Structure 1
C-alpha cells in the first residue's frame, strides 16, 4: 500500500455525495423498533443501518496494536484471512517506552490504517491494570500503575482519533484475568477501585474522550459490568463527563433491557431478533423508559455521524514499518549489563565472533494470541538483521511450537559446543506463543525448562552471554546472575527483529523502563492466594497494594523493580526543590530537579516522580508514581525538569466521605530512576482539609471527640460519673460507638436526644 492511491470508501462511489446525518431529525423519525435495532449489531463487526432514513452501517474491528480487519466471512479469532496491516509493538512494549509523544505517533499511524480500510472504530487501547503477571492478556495492557497506563492510553487515543476514526477504551472495569472472565465477579472495595483500577480509564476519558468505551465481561461486586449503573452512568458519565458510546465486549450482554437501563448503548455482535423484541416490549410495558432507549439510539447515531465520511487516505507501509522499528527499540528494557574483562557485554563491538542461539532469533515471537493478532505487512527477524551486517553463526538450541522440528537435547549440545569458542553469545529466549493469549491465563511465571537448561549449559562454558527475551509480561529470572546482560524486548511487533539488532550493536541506545515489577517467585506477587478465585468470585484482598505498591510497602525483594532500566550511559540528579501552595482541594506542589548525562554517549532518562504520605491516617503505599517525563541528553548535557502536582496527586479516596481528600501534614516528593532507585527527595508541608465524617450513634467516641462540634457533646458524657479513666480504659473506650454510653447508663441522654445532638453537630460544620 506504500504510496498507493486512496482506498475508496462508500462516499467515494461515483455520483454519491458525502453522507451527513442530522441526528435529532433522524431520531425523531425512528420507530420504536428501529430505535431498538440500533442498539445491537448487524453482524460481527457492523452497526445496523436504517436505510429509509439514510443511516448507514459502520464497521468496527479489533486492533489495540494493529488493524485486524477480517476479510469476508473469516472466523472471529482467525489471522490468515485478515487484511495486511502494520503490527506495532503490543501495549506492554509501547508502555515500556514511557514516551507519550512516540505513542501518539504510533496512534496516528494506526488511525491512518484504520481510515484507509473503511473502518470507523479501532477496538482499543486496553488500560486494565496488571494485577498479576499470570493474566493471559497482559501483553495488551500497559502497566501495573494507573498513572502510566492512563498517560499512555490517552496518547494512543488522541493519536488514533486525530485521523478521524474512533477508539474503544477497554475493558471497563476490573477485568484483570482471563480465567472464567465471562462470569467471574471481581469483588473489590471502592477505595481500591478508585485508586488503582479506575484512574487509567478516568484519565483517558477526561483527557482524550474516546469515541467509545467497551464494558468488560466480568461482574464487579456481583453485577455484570454490562448492567452496572454505577460504573456506566454514575461514574463514567456523571462524574467523568464521558460523551461517547458504551459498547459491550463481544458477548458480554446477557439481558439488554437492564443493560440499557444501566447505561450500555450498543450490544455486539449481532444477537438475533429476540433482544430487540425484548427491548420493544419493555418500553411498551413501562419497564424501560423510552427516553433511556432514545439516549442509546442517539449515541449510536452520533457515532455513525462523526464517522462520516468513512474511509479515504493513503498508507505509507514503509514509513509505518520504520515507526514500528523505532517503537520496538524504545520499548525494550536493558535489565542487566555487567562487565566481563573490564567492559560491559553490550553494546556489541561488531559481529565478529558472535554466536546467536535460540529459535526465537529466526522464528520471532512478536505478538500475543487471540483477537489482537495482526497479519503483518512484513516480518523482521533478528538473525537476518544481524547477518545483514556480517557473518553470524547460529544454533537453534531448542524447539518451539510452530518452528522447525528437532530434539532439544541434541540442539542444546550443539549450541554448547559452539558457545565454547564464541566471542560473545546472544541467547534468544522467551515464552511460547500458546502461553499468552486472550481467553485463558498463563500456566507459569518462569521460562520453559528446556530454555533454562540451555541457558545454564551455555553460561557454564562462556562468560560473555547476553539474553534477549520475548514475552508479553514479566517472567521470573532465577538465572539472571549466570549471564552478563539481559535485554527484555516484550512482544515487539513486526519490526522487532531489526530493532533488537539496533540495540545490540549500539546504533540505538536502550531507553525503555519497566512498567511492571519482575518478582522472584509467584508466591511473592500481590494477588497470590486471591487469584484466580473460586466459586465464581475473585477477591481483591491486596486492596490498594498492587504492583510496586505491594513490593515496596512490604519490603519484598524483587528481581527488578518498577521503573528500572539501563542504557549505555549514566545520569546524575541534583537536589529536588519542592514548594507547596494553596490548601485542601486547591493545593499544588511545584517540583524541580536537574538531570545530567554523566556518561560518554547520548541517551534518554525517564525521570519518575513519586509521592509519599508518611503521616497518613489510612494505609497508603510507601510511594506512588504521580508524574514522569522522558529526557534525551547528550554527553555532559543537563536539563531542569519541572512538575506540578495537584490535590488529586496527594489525595486518597475516603471510604466514609466517598470522595477524594487531601490529608494535611508532611508529604515527601521523591525523584528517581525506579521505585527503588530514588535519587533525591524533598519534604513539603501541606495544609489539608477537614476529614470529619457525619456523626451518628454508631460513630466511635474517638470520632466524636475529633469532630469540632462533636467533642463538646461527648466530653461531658465521659465525665458524667466523675471517675478517672486510666490510659488502658480510655484507649478501649475510644473504639466504642457512642450509643454504648447510653447502654451502659453513662450518657445523660437517650437515643432520640443523641440523634438530635448528632444532627446539630453535623449541621455546624457544613
Structure 2
C-alpha cells in the first residue's frame, strides 16, 4: 500500500483549514482538545469555529450519548449475522442506515466496526466481530465503513489490534509473531484502510508483544500511519490510556473518556517539562481537526459529504439483513414449512434475544419475537406455543411487567431529580444524569414502581452492581447491605452477574410495589464516574421435566415442531469469555425429546457465535439465526414459510470444543501466547485433519446449483454457475487459493475472494472475483516484508471450504 493518503482537491482545501486553525491554538488549548470533556464528547473551541465532536457506541445501532431505552435506536442483526450475508454491498447499506441514525441523534463518530478475528470459539464477544477469516472480515468491514462515512459520519475501526478475547483484556500481553500479525490480525484493518479510508481507529486495552496498544509506536506510527497511510484519528478504548508520554509518543490522538485522562493538563505539562515535543501534540491535534472538518464541525472547511444518501427504512433493512444472514445448515425436506399446524417451542421463541450484551447494547422501539412473527404469518389458530426449557438460570434485568422510575436524592434526602426507567437498568456514564442532578449532590438513587407478574408462584429478585443497596418487594425489605465486586473491573456494574437477594410469592395479574435504593459512592479520582446498577428478576421456575413434557405433547399434536434454542447474556457478552460451547439449561434435552415425538422438527439456533449441536442428526432441519436484531421474528417467518430463502453462509467454523484447534484464551502470568501462528479457524481445522460439524462458508438455500466453468486472466476469476432447482435463489461463489505443493508452514488453502450471484430456475449467472496479489504472498520475517511466492497454485471454487466444485491450476 502507499505510505501516504490519497488526496482530492476537497481534501487539500480542508487541510488548509486545519492548518489555519492549528496555528491559532496555544499549547493548553491543543492538549485540552485531545482529552474527552466527558464520556462521549470532545470540547468545542469557539475561538477557531470548532464544534464539539460527539461519539457513540455501535455497531448494530447508534445508542447516542444517553444509555437509555427512552431514546430508542434501530437494532440491526449482530456483526456475525452481517458477515454471514457475505455481501459487502449489504454491509454498506447497513452503514448508510447507521449514519442516518447517528445524524438523527447528533452523533459525529460511530465507535464501530469491530474487526477482530474469531481466533477461538470461546471468545465471549465474537458476536460483535465478523469472522475467523481476514479476507471476509476486511470486505464486510470495508462495506460498513463506506456506508457510514457516505452519510458524513466517522467510523473508528476497532479494536486495534488483537483484542480477540475478553479474559484480563485490560492487562493481557498477547505474544504474536510478526507473520501472524500481518497475515491475520492486521489484515482486516489494512484492507479497510486501503479500500474504505476510515476516519478513525480505536486502539485496544491489551498489549501486543510487551507494549500496550495505546502506546504502540511500531504498530500505530510505523505500520498503520507510515506503511498504510492512515490519516484519521486514533482514539483510545475507554480508560485504556495509561501514560501521558507513552501515549503521545505511541501515536494516540485522543484519550477517552474525560474529564480525567492522561492528556489535557498532564500533556501540556509534559511538553513544558521537555518529556515530549509539542510537534507530537500538533500531529494529534491536526488529526482531530481533520476529523472535525470531515464531519462538518470546523468552520471554513467543507464537510467530506455534502449530499446525503437517500433515507433508509430502518425496520425494513433490519428485516432484510436478518433473513439474508440466516444459515440453513441442515434440511431434510422440512423447510420451507409444509401446510398444517406448527408447535413453536422454546423460551427464546417468546422472549427473543435479538442482540449481544455489553457496550453493543441498544434499545429498539420494538422487537418482533419468533412467536410474534410466525403468529402473524401463518393462518389463525395454526400456531401453538410451549416454553419447553428456559436457558436462563439466573435473574435478568427487570423488564416485562415492571413500571419503574428513578428518584435521585441528596444526602439530606431531598429529591433533586427524577427520570423514567423503561427497564430495571441504571447506566449513567459521566455527566449523563437526569436533569438537575450532578455528581457532587447525588447521594442515593431509588428505582421504584410496580411489578405485575404474568405467572403465579415464587419470584426471585436480585441486584446487579456494587455498593450499598436496599431491596424492598411488596412492603418487605429483603436486603440492606453492601454488595462487593467479584473482580476488579471498572465495568463490573454493567457486565457482572446479578446476585439473587429476595424470593417473594406473587399472584399473576396482581401488581406489587418494588424498590431498589443504591447509595452512590464514587471516588473522585476515577477516570470515568459511573452510576450503574440494576434490579434483576426471575419468574417462578417450574419443574424442567414438566416443561419438556408439555412441549413434547404440543409437538406430537402438530404437523411441524419448531424449537428455538438460545444462549443468554451470561454466555455471550462483553467482559468475559466462554468456558464451553454448550447450550445453557436443558435445551439439548428439549430438542431430543421433541424430535423423538415429531420427526418433522426444525431447530432455530439463536446464538451469536458457535454452539455445540449434539442432536443435529436427529432433527429435520437446523437454521442458525445469530442475534437477528429487532425484526428477527418477522425475518424468521419469511424464511420458514418460504417467501424468502435463507441467504447466509457460515463466517466461522462450527464444531465441538473438544475438536477445536485453538482454545486457549486465558493468560498465564499475564501473557497469552498465540502459539498457533497463522493457523486459526478453518486453516487450523485443516492443518489438524479434523472435521468440523459445519465448515466455513457452508450454507443451504431452497434451490440447487451446478458449477459449470472457471477461467482466469491472472487478475480476475470468472465462474459460471447454474440454478438447477425449481425456484429463484442466490449463490455465494467462494474462491480459495491452494499451493499445488503442500507446505506445512502455509495453510492448505485460504479464502481469496467471493461474489454473490442470483438466477432463476434453469438460468445461469457469471460470478467475477478479483484475484488479489496478496493471495500468493506471505510475510517474510527475515526481510520484514511481503514475499510473493512463485509457483503453481490451484484456484478452487465452490460453496464452502469443504465443498469445492471446480478447480483450475495457474502458475504465478
TM-score category (smaller protein): 0.7 to 0.9
1:591 and 2:717 aligned: yes
Query: Do the aligned partners of 1:128 and 1:141 also contact (CA within 8 Å) in 2?
Result: yes
Deviations 1:611-640 (A, max 9, x none): 011336661111100100011111111122
Q: Secondary structure at the match of 1:559?
A: coil
Match of 2:316 among 315, 322, 340: 322
Partner of 1:7: none
Pair 1:364–1:274, CA change in 2 (3 A): closer
1:345 and 2:334 aligned: yes
In 1, Cα distance between equivalents of 2:261 and 2:572: 36
Deviations 1:351-382 (A, max 9, x none): x2211111111110100011111110211111
In 2, Cα distance between equivalents of 1:211 and 1:447: 39
Pair 1:92–1:282, CA change in 2 (3 A): same
Q: Secondary structure at the match of 2:142?
A: helix
Q: Secondary structure at the match of 1:376?
A: coil
Query: Do the aligned partners of 2:661 and 2:684 also contact (CA within 8 Å) in 1?
Result: yes
1:333 and 2:322 aligned: no
Deviations 1:545-577 (A, max 9, x none): 110011122220110000000011100001322
In 2, Cα distance between equivalents of 1:197 and 1:615: 26
Deviation at 1:148, TM superposition (A): 0.3
RMSD: 2.1
Bigger Cα displacement from structure 2, 180-189 vs 24-33: 24-33
Partner of 1:258: 246
In 1, Cα distance between equivalents of 2:562 and 2:713: 48
In 2, Cα distance between equivalents of 1:305 and 1:593: 44
In 2, Cα distance between equivalents of 1:318 and 1:220: 40
Match of 2:193 among 197, 201, 205: 205
Match of 1:665 among 791, 802, 807: 791
Partner of 2:48: 53
1:680 and 2:806 aligned: yes
Query: Do the aligned partners of 2:757 and 2:766 also contact (CA within 8 Å) in 1?
Result: no
Pair 1:423–1:194, CA change in 2 (3 A): same
1:67 and 2:62 aligned: yes
Partner of 1:547: 681
Partner of 1:737: none
Query: Do the aligned partners of 2:96 and 2:150 also contact (CA within 8 Å) in 1?
Result: yes
Bigger Cα displacement from structure 2, 445-454 vs 619-628: 445-454
Pair 1:315–1:499, CA change in 2 (3 A): farther
Q: Which runs of 5+ in 2 are unaligned?
A: 1-13, 397-537
Bigger Cα displacement from structure 2, 113-122 vs 395-404: 395-404
1:526 and 2:661 aligned: yes
Deviation at 1:64, TM superposition (A): 0.6
Deviation at 1:502, TM superposition (A): 0.4
In 2, Cα distance between equivalents of 1:178 and 1:385: 34
1:380 and 2:368 aligned: yes
1:114 and 2:250 aligned: no
Q: Secondary structure at the match of 2:270?
A: helix
Partner of 2:706: 572
Equivalent residue runs for 1:58-97 within 5 Å: 58-71=53-66, 78-81=67-70, 83-97=71-85
Query: Do the aligned partners of 1:84 and 1:374 also contact (CA within 8 Å) in 2?
Result: yes
Query: Do the aligned partners of 1:616 and 1:663 also contact (CA within 8 Å) in 2?
Result: no
Deviation at 1:101, TM superposition (A): 1.3
Partner of 1:4: none
Bigger Cα displacement from structure 2, 635-644 vs 359-368: 635-644
1:395 and 2:386 aligned: yes
Match of 1:411 among 547, 566, 575: 547
Query: Do the aligned partners of 1:257 and 1:278 also contact (CA within 8 Å) in 2?
Result: no
Match of 2:355 among 354, 364, 367: 367
In 1, Cα distance between equivalents of 2:69 and 2:189: 32
1:125 and 2:113 aligned: yes
Match of 1:606 among 723, 729, 732: 732
- Report the TM-score, using the length of structure 1 for normalisation: 0.82
Deviation at 1:79, TM superposition (A): 4.2
Deviation at 1:274, TM superposition (A): 6.3
In 1, Cα distance between equivalents of 2:387 and 2:255: 47
Bigger Cα displacement from structure 2, 171-180 vs 293-302: 293-302
In 1, Cα distance between equivalents of 2:18 and 2:312: 39
Bigger Cα displacement from structure 2, 305-314 vs 281-290: 305-314
Query: Do the aligned partners of 1:113 and 1:315 also contact (CA within 8 Å) in 2?
Result: no
In 1, Cα distance between equivalents of 2:158 and 2:743: 34
In 1, Cα distance between equivalents of 2:176 and 2:690: 23
In 2, Cα distance between equivalents of 1:597 and 1:400: 40
Deviations 1:30-81 (A, max 9, x none): 111111111110000001222333322121000111011133xxxxxx5435
Query: Do the aligned partners of 2:735 and 2:753 also contact (CA within 8 Å) in 1?
Result: yes
Deviation at 1:301, TM superposition (A): 1.5
Match of 2:590 among 451, 454, 464: 454
Deviations 1:473-527 (A, max 9, x none): 011111101111000000010001100000000010111000000012x132232
Match of 1:463 among 599, 607, 630: 599
Structure with greater strand share of residues? 2
Pair 1:449–1:482, CA change in 2 (3 A): farther
Bigger Cα displacement from structure 2, 419-428 vs 563-572: 419-428
Pair 1:454–1:315, CA change in 2 (3 A): farther
Query: Do the aligned partners of 2:563 and 2:602 also contact (CA within 8 Å) in 1?
Result: yes
Query: Do the aligned partners of 1:86 and 1:317 also contact (CA within 8 Å) in 2?
Result: no
Query: Do the aligned partners of 2:220 and 2:250 also contact (CA within 8 Å) in 1?
Result: yes
Q: Relative CO higher for 1 or 2, CA cutoff 8 Å, sep ≥ 6?
A: 2
Pair 1:229–1:355, CA change in 2 (3 A): same
Q: Which runs of 5+ in 1 are unaligned?
A: 1-18, 72-77, 339-343, 581-588, 687-766
Equivalent residue runs for 1:136-151 within 5 Å: 136-151=124-139
In 1, Cα distance between equivalents of 2:638 and 2:310: 22
Q: Secondary structure at the match of 1:661?
A: strand
Pair 1:323–1:122, CA change in 2 (3 A): same
Equivalent residue runs for 1:625-636 within 5 Å: 625-636=751-762
Q: Secondary structure at the match of 2:575?
A: coil
In 1, Cα distance between equivalents of 2:594 and 2:757: 37
Query: Do the aligned partners of 1:399 and 1:405 also contact (CA within 8 Å) in 2?
Result: no
Deviations 1:202-258 (A, max 9, x none): 111111111110001100011000000111111101111101110000011001221
In 2, Cα distance between equivalents of 1:536 and 1:224: 13
Partner of 1:536: 670
- Report the TM-score, using the length of structure 2 for normalisation: 0.77
In 1, Cα distance between equivalents of 2:649 and 2:262: 50
Query: Do the aligned partners of 2:53 and 2:297 also contact (CA within 8 Å) in 1?
Result: no
Partner of 1:639: 765
Bigger-Rg structure (1/2): 1
Deviation at 1:405, TM superposition (A): 3.6
Partner of 1:735: none
